[in-house]
Amino acid sequence: MLLGVVSGLAGNLVKTLIDEVSRKNKISQRTFRETAAGVWVNKRSEATNYKGQLLGGLLDFGLASLGGIGTVQLFSKTGRDCVLTKGILSGITVGSTVTAFMSALPQNKVKPKDAASNLSYMLAHAVYGVVTAALVTKLGDPSLFDSKPVNNYLSPTEPTTEEMFINRRQAQ
Per-residue pLDDT at 108: 63
Domain count, the chain: 1
Note down the domain range covering 92: 2-140
* Beta carbons of 31 and 18 less than 8 angstroms apart: no
Residue 64 inside a domain? The answer is yes
The answer to whether residue 61 sits within a structural domain is: yes
The pLDDT value given to residue 153: 67
Whole-number Å distance between alpha carbons of 147 and 8: 24
Q: What's 28's DSSP letter? A: S
Ranges of residues in the chain whose predicted pLDDT is under 50 = none
The pLDDT of residue 157 is: 66
CB atoms within 10 A of CB 45: 10
For the chain, the distance separating the N- and C-terminal CA atoms, rounded to the nearest angstrom, is 34
Q: What ranges in the chain are assigned the alpha helix state H?
A: 2-24, 32-37, 44-48, 50-78, 83-104, 115-139, 161-171
161 belongs to a structural domain: no
Decide if 153 is inside a domain.
no
Q: What is the pLDDT of residues 13-37, one digit of tens each?
A: 999 999 999 999 999 888 888 888 8
**Distances, alpha carbon 69 to alpha carbons 40, 96, 149, in Å:** 25, 17, 24
Report if residue 152 sits inside a domain. no
Residue 166 is assigned to a structural domain of this protein: no
Is the pTM here over 0.85, yes or no?
A: no
**Of 66, 53, 68, 62, whose CA–CA distance to 3 is shortest?**
68
In a domain, 76, yes or no: yes
Residue 27 lies in a domain: yes
